[in-house]
Amino acid sequence: MSLIMKIQQLQGPAIQQMQLLYQQNRFPLEVRYYCAPWIEAQQWGNIDVDSPSSEPAATILLQQLVQQINQKAEALTGEDKFFLRMKLSNFATELYETYGNDSLKFVRVVRHCLEKEQRLVDQDTNGLQDSLEQVMPVSDAHNEIESTLQNLKYKTQAQEKFLGDMQQKQELFAVQLQERRCMLENTLASLQQQYPQQDDPNRRAEFARFSQKKLELNSLVQNEAQQLMGLRMQLAKMHQETFMMLSNVQSKVLGDELKIWKRQQQLAGIGGSPEGSLDVLQSWCEALAEVTWQNRQQLQRIEMLKQQVPMNAPAQDVPDLSNNFTGLLSALVSSTFVIEKQPPQVLKKETRFSAAIRLLVGGKLNVHMNPPQVKATIISEAQAKDMLHNESANFNETSGDIINNSGVLEYHKDSGVLNVTFRNMSLKKIRRADRRGQEFVTEEKFTLLFRSNFSVASGELMFQVRTLSLPVVVVSHGNQECNALATILWDNAFGDCSSGRIPFAVPDKVPWPEMAQALNSKFMAVNGRSLSNENMQYLAMKAFSGQNVQTDDYNSMYISWSTFNRDPLPGCTFTFWKWFHGVLELTRKYLRAPWNEGSILGFITKEHAQELLLTKQTGTFLLRFSDSKLGAISITWVNEDPTTGDRQVLNLLPFSSEDFHIRSLADRIHDLPHLTNLFPDIPKDTAFGNFYTPMDEVLPQAGDGYVSSVLVSKIPQLSAPPSYPIENPGSVEPASPQQQPHNSRQEFVDFGGISDFDDMLEDREQEETQLAPDINELLKDFDTFDMDPIL
């Protein structure tokens, strides 16, 4: 079933999230629907959206989609389809105008939408809501922000008009005041000239009338001044209301929405949903910056008006408001200097890596008119803590040397994005701190510090901005990666970067349900299908196997970091995480398809597998991940002794990546006639037939008098069931000297019933000296491959 058909079956919150997804990313749902076959057929993931060299391929995809939309529009006939036809044509034009000069952004948007769709479908299918994955902001919250920002624009425009009217009235007041003053001065001079004698009765009468006129004018001026002061106070109240509204909505955008985006970005590092585009957040932040800047300019004009016509105000509201708006702007600029693309959290020395920084308000403040430089450095956890508590911390102290670590913020006019992408950074040297107690190298956290300085309004305001990446673990060798990933998973899952935590504090222990959800999120992201409740129950049992647990209800238990990845599992040399990571990687490399088909139970104990299989017919088998070998899977099946008729459950020695590199799991299952039905009762050809390797694809052409040969798996200790031919015409793989199995113990039958013997044979990591001599002899002859000639 196509993805679009699955999407149409969504209901309730899931369909609302999908609608909001396309609304946020400004991609028409109608285009998604009418062009679904073409959209789902394209290899969007093959385009590196961070590489300019991928732009031609992205442009071709954009052009092809526009062509598809126009073709769909032309195919819609009839008067009832007229408006839809026009709508699709407009969509085609708008898409090309929007992304014509930024086709990589177009690919990024489509890919993100498809990935989110798949996750919504997976959640709906499995009935699991991953609590690690932050729910997309509900439309009501977004609508409230949009509405508030729109109201702020209207209020600011109204204030601008009010300020303009007030300025005109003040100018008129100043002119009239000057005219009245001149009139009084002229009248007084005229009276003094006309009546020079002090005792002239007419002089006294005229001066009395003059004094009365002066009092009347003074009263008029006082009334007009009071009206002007009232206007100033009224405007100050309007600005105060605007400030409160602006402060509240900015708190929602930066304190809620941006933090949610950052948390989603952190969870995406362990398999959570992609954090999505910053475009909606940028539009909000730009609106905040624009309104704040306009109000700040209005307050500056008011201050100038006050200086032109000084009046005794009851309170000095305007200067305080100006500082308040400046503080809002400063907080906005500092908070919107964000890491759009995080550096890899497991950072290998001498290896190229990339990151991207974006300033969400740069376009509105014209920062790009004097493009600022951004510099990246690596600092330790202790240095990050010092920086958090000390604004004047020494940024020149670093914990390593990074090359190609500086770049300039570039403004992309068509998209309105101001960002810089570091494409070729490389860590040349790392300076580690003295480790504490039992701390390992792979538990030491660093972070990349990105910082920049710039000014706005011709140097009127200066900003120093900085931001820290998610924690990174530096490794020198590939064998350190597994432990480093454990540190990162624990930090990303349980150290919320959006909560204002002290770098990089994490709890020492966490509730098991949260850990189970983190593991499920990681497994589903890597391998497609999520873990079932039974799978997670098995993981809990395994994780706590070293503790004396008296209950099967693990939901109230806590798992510590030591249990997770310090203390080895009982009887093993590896930790719980290393075991899980081995299963994760084996499935990713070789078992993803059968896992997604539901053909692998995987997470099940030997004892439980035996109980299940003994209730089924002979030849029924299942696949379970090995308990004692890292990254391995075993075939367990119910067998019947042809002589005695006794039924027993047998286990093949686990297969690892090295084995599947030689021959796939499906082909090995096909080779063995003892395996007939996948548990519970699915014929193996039905379950695995699609994964068999066709002979005509792999069989080399024979020549020069030679004939080709193929590898076929076989168990010498067991005779083939009479109902199943030993020679199979199915899929086989060409043999060559390089493909000959180098380990004669590649497959081993566990005859069951003797637990010590069973564990000893399955654990291939045990020393040879631990095996009895007769067992060694058996192992030497165990794995036999028929070299059947193909004529």
- Per-residue model confidence (pLDDT) at position 199: 78
pTM: 0.72
List b or e across 340-369, with b for residues whose CB sees 16 or more CB atoms inside 10 angstroms.
Answer: bebbbbbbbeeeebbbbbbbbbbbbbebbe
Residue 327 CA to residue 333 CA, distance in Å, equals 10
Residue 548 CA to residue 282 CA, distance in Å, equals 53
Q: CB 659: neighbour CB atoms within 10 A?
A: 22
Residue 384 CA to residue 381 CA, distance in Å, equals 5
Pairing of strands 417-430, 352-359: antiparallel
- Per-residue model confidence (pLDDT) at position 621: 96
pLDDT tens, position by position, 241-266:
999 999 999 999 999 999 999 998 99
- Per-residue model confidence (pLDDT) at position 698: 54
Q: Which of 591, 575, 755 has its CA nearest to residue 659?
A: 591
- Per-residue model confidence (pLDDT) at position 754: 31
Name residues of the chain where pLDDT drops below 50: 127-138, 724-791
Residue 456 CA to residue 367 CA, distance in Å, equals 6
**Residue 335 belongs to what H/E stretch?**
helix 317-335
**Residue 169 belongs to what H/E stretch?**
helix 139-194
Q: Which residues pair with 785 in a beta bridge?
A: 713
For residue 700, the 8-state DSSP code is P
- Per-residue model confidence (pLDDT) at position 478: 87
Residues with Cβ within 8 Å of residue 426, at least 6 apart in sequence: 350, 351, 352, 353, 402, 403, 404
pLDDT tens, position by position, 562-581:
999 999 999 899 999 999 99
In three-state secondary structure terms, 393 is: coil
- Per-residue model confidence (pLDDT) at position 414: 78
Residue 118 CA to residue 115 CA, distance in Å, equals 5
- Helices 55-75, 103-126: axis angle to 10 degrees equals 70
- Per-residue model confidence (pLDDT) at position 394: 64
